[in-house]
C-alpha cells in the first residue's frame, strides 16, 4: 500500500474517554462502513455537567496551528502588553493607571476618581458587564477563547510546556517515563520558568494598586509594604494554581460565567460548530478515493479536533458548555481538510440558525440587528453616554454644606444671629487649588471661619472646615431662610477669565 493509499491517520488522545459516536483509533482502523452517530443539536451550550475525563487526569492538548492560533497569540500578546507595560507608563508626574486603594483614589490617565466619584466607578463596572453581555450575545464565547485571563495564562503555561518539554507526544512520553536526570532537568527548567512568570505576574498585579516604580525597588530592598507584598504573592500563587495546576478545570467546574452565559445565547449567536450534515457519516478512507466516490461524509474521524482541544471535548458531540471557544479545533480540522483537498470549514464559526438553514451563512452579519443584541447595546450605550457626560461636566472641586446640627442658632458677640456649618470640600483634581467663598441671602450677611485670602486645597484631598454665617436679627425672623454660598477657584491650566464658580444653596435658621 502506498503512502497515498494509507487510511488517513487517527489517534485517540490519552485523556479522552471515547463515547458512542465520538470515534476512536480502533474505529478508524477497522471501519469499512460508515459509523453511525446521533446528530447533536447545535445551539445553546448544554448546561448539564458531562464528565469528559477524570478530574485527576492531565490534558496535554496538541499544539494547533493556523489562522485562529495566530489570532490567539496576538490576543495574548495584546492583553499581556496592557497588563505588564501599562503600570510603567507615567502621566502628569504619576503612574498613568493606578488603583490606589489605601488612598481611595483611582487614576486612569487624566481621569482621577476619588471617593466622591463612586458613581463613575459603578458606571464603569456597568459598562464592563453590559459590554460583556452584549458581546456574548453577538459573538458567543469569543471573550473566553481569546482574552479571559484564565485562557490567556493557561495559553502561556502551554507555551512553556511546549518550549521545554516539546509537543503533546513528547509530553505524554515524559509523563510516563520514570524519574532520571533528564526528566529532573527538564522539569526543573520548566518550573523555574513558571516560577519567574508567576512571580513577575504577581509583582505586576501589585503594581496596579501601588506605585510600581517605587514598589519594585522596595521589594528587592526588602522595604515593600506588607499589603503590596501579600497582593503580589497571592496573585502570583493564584496564577500558578489556576493556570498551571487547575487549567481547564477552572473553565469546566469553577467558572460561573460559563454556566450562565447560555442565557445570553440565541439562534443567531456566533458559535463554533461541527457541520454534522457535511461531516457524517464519519469514517476513515483512503486518500486516493475522491470525495464523490465515497458514501462517507467529510469527517475522516482523525480525532485531531479532540487532540488539540484544551478542555478535552469532542466538538462533534454538539455545542457544550465546556467549549471555551478557542477555535483550536477549527485550525486542526482545516489542516486535515487541506490535506484531503476538501473544502475548509467542516468545523467553523457559524450560528445555530445558519446550521438549521433558517438563513444562509452569508446573512449572519445581518442578524446582528435583533432585539436581544439591541437591548444590551441600548443599556450599554446609555451607561457610556452617562459616564462620558458625567465625567466631562464634573467639577474638579466639589463642596457639600452640612448644617452643624449641634448649633441651631445663636447670638454672636456683636448681637447678630449666627448659624454654624461644616463645609466638606473635595479637590478631585491633580493640582492644588485656592478656593474663595462668599455668602448672600440677606442685605447684611457675614461669613466667618473661611480664610479671606482663600483656602488652599491640596491636590486629591478632602478638607472639612467649620464656618459661621451671621446676620442682623431683623433680617432673619423665626423659621428657615434660603441663603447661597458662592465658591470660586481657578483651574491651574486655565486663564483668569476661566474661573470656576460653584453655587450651593443652604438654609439659615432665624430666632
Ligand atoms: S471544542 Fe474546539 S473551540 Fe471548543 S474548547 Fe475545544 S478546541 Fe476550543
Ligand atoms: S472533524 Fe475534522 S479534525 Fe475532527 S475528526 Fe473529523 S476530520 Fe478530523
Q: What is the pLDDT of residues 442-495, one digit of tens each?
A: 999 999 999 998 999 988 788 999 999 999 998 888 888 999 999 998 766 555
Q: Is 140 in the pocket of ligand 1 (CB under 6 A)?
A: no
Residues of each domain in the chain carrying CATH 2.60.40.10: 397-509
H or E stretch at 455? strand 455-457
Site residues for ligand 2, CB cut-off 6 Å: 274, 279, 282, 299-305, 316, 332-333, 336, 346-347
Full-model pTM? 0.76
Q: What percent of the chain has pLDDT over 70?
A: 87
Mean pLDDT of 429-449: 91
Mean pLDDT of 24-44: 44
**SS3 for 90?**
strand
Mean pLDDT of 239-268: 88
The model's pLDDT over 71-129, given as tens digits with 9 standing for 90+, comes to 999 999 999 999 999 999 998 788 999 998 887 888 888 888 877 788 888 999 999 99
Give the CATH H-level superfamily of domain 397-509.
Immunoglobulins (2.60.40.10)
For residue 41, what pLDDT is reported? 53
How many A from CA of 46 to the centre of ligand 1?
A: 14
Of all protein residues, the one whose alpha carbon is nearest to atom 2 of ligand 2 is 333
For residue 423, what pLDDT is reported? 95
Q: Ligand 2 atom closest to Cα of 298?
A: 7
Q: Is 457 in the pocket of ligand 1 (CB under 6 A)?
A: no
Burial class (CB in 10 A: 0-12, 13-18, 19+), 494: exposed
How many A from CA of 153 to the centre of ligand 1?
A: 17
Of all protein residues, the one whose alpha carbon is nearest to atom 7 of ligand 2 is 299
How many A from CA of 319 to the centre of ligand 2?
A: 15
Q: In 3-state terms, the chain is what percent helix, strand and coil (to 5)?
A: 45, 20, 35
Which ligand neighbours the alpha carbon of 316 most closely? 2
Which ligand neighbours the alpha carbon of 338 most closely? 2
Mean pLDDT of 338-344: 94
d(CA 132, CA 198): 27
Q: What percent of the chain has pLDDT over 90?
A: 61
For residue 102, what pLDDT is reported? 80
Q: Is 420 in the pocket of ligand 1 (CB under 6 A)?
A: no
Which residue, 272, 285, 289, 293, is CA-closest to 346?
Answer: 272
Q: Looking at the predicted structure, is the pLDDT value of residue 303 above 90?
A: yes
How many A from CA of 175 to the centre of ligand 1?
A: 24
- For 303, residues 6+ apart whose C-beta sits below 8 A from its C-beta are 10, 11, 12, 13, 16, 23, 24, 25, 28
Mutate to test the pocket of ligand 2, among 273, 299, 331 (most ligand atoms within 8 A of CB): 299
Amino acid at each position: 500500500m502506498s503512502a497515498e493509499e494509507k487510511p488517513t491517520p487517527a489517534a485517540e488522545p490519552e485523556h479522552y474517554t471515547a463515547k458512542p459516536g465520538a470515534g476512536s483509533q480502533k474505529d478508524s482502523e477497522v471501519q469499512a462502513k460508515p459509523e453511525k452517530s446521533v446528530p447533536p443539536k447545535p445551539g445553546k451550550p448544554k448546561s448539564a455537567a458531562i464528565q469528559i475525563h477524570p478530574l485527576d487526569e492531565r490534558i496535554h492538548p496538541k499544539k494547533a496551528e493556523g489562522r485562529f492560533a495566530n489570532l490567539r497569540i496576538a490576543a495574548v500578546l495584546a492583553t499581556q502588553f496592557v497588563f505588564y507595560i501599562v503600570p510603567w507608563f507615567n502621566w502628569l508626574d504619576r503612574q498613568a493607571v493606578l488603583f490606589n486603594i489605601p488612598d481611595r483614589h483611582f487614576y486612569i490617565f487624566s481621569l482621577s476618581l476619588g471617593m466622591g466619584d463612586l458613581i463613575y466607578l459603578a458606571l464603569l463596572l456597568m459598562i464592563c458587564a453590559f459590554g460583556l453581555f452584549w458581546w456574548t450575545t453577538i459573538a458567543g464565547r469569543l471573550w473566553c477563547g481569546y482574552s479571559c485571563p484564565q485562557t490567556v495564562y493557561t495559553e502561556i503555561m502551554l507555551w512553556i510546556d511546549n518550549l521545554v518539554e516539546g509537543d503533546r507526544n513528547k509530553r505524554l512520553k515524559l509523563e510516563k517515563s520514570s524519574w532520571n536526570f533528564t526528566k529532573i532537568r527538564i522539569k526543573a527548567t520548566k518550573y523555574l520558568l513558571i516560577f519567574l512568570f508567576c512571580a513577575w505576574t504577581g509583582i505586576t498585579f501589585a503594581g496596579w494598586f501601588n506605585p510600581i516604580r517605587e514598589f519594585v525597588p522596595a521589594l528587592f530592598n526588602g522595604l515593600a509594604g506588607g499589603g503590596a507584598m501579600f497582593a503580589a504573592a497571592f496573585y502570583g500563587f493564584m496564577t500558578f494554581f489556576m493556570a498551571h495546576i487547575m487549567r481547564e478545570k477552572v473553565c469546566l467546574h469553577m467558572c460561573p460565567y460559563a454556566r450562565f452565559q447560555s442565557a445570553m445565547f440565541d439562534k443567531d449567536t456566533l458559535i463554533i460548530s461541527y457541520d454534522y450534515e457535511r461531516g457524517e457519516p464519519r469514517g476513515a478512507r483512503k486518500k486516493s478515493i475522491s470525495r464523490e466516490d465515497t458514501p462517507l461524509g467529510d469527517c475522516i474521524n482523525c480525532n485531531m479536533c479532540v487532540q488539540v482541544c484544551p478542555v478535552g471535548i469532542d466538538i462533534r458531540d454538539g455545542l457544550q458548555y465546556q467549549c471555551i471557544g478557542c477555535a483550536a479545533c477549527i485550525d486542526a480540522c482545516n489542516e486535515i481538510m487541506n490535506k484531503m483537498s476538501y473544502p475548509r470549514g467542516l468545523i467553523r464559526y457559524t450560528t445555530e440558525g445558519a446550521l438549521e438553514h433558517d438563513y444562509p451563512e452569508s446573512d449572519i452579519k445581518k442578524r446582528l440587528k435583533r432585539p436581544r443584541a439591541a437591548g444590551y447595546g441600548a443599556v450599554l450605550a446609555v451607561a457610556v453616554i452617562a459616564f462620558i457626560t458625567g465625567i466631562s461636566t464634573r467639577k474638579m472641586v466639589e463642596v457639600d454644606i452640612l448644617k452643624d446640627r449641634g448649633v441651631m442658632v445663636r447670638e454672636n458677640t456683636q448681637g447678630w444671629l449666627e448659624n454654624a456649618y461644616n463645609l466638606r470640600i473635595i479637590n478631585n483634581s491633580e493640582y492644588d487649588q485656592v478656593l474663595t467663598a462668599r455668602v448672600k441671602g440677606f442685605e447684611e450677611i457675614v461669613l466667618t471661619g473661611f480664610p479671606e485670602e482663600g483656602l488652599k486645597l491640596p491636590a486629591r484631598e478632602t478638607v472639612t472646615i467649620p464656618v459661621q454665617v451671621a446676620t442682623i436679627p431683623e433680617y432673619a425672623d423665626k423659621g428657615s431662610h434660603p441663603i447661597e454660598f458662592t465658591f470660586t477657584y481657578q483651574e491651574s491650566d486655565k486663564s483668569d477669565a476661566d474661573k470656576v464658580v460653584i453655587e450651593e444653596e443652604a438654609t439659615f435658621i432665624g430666632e
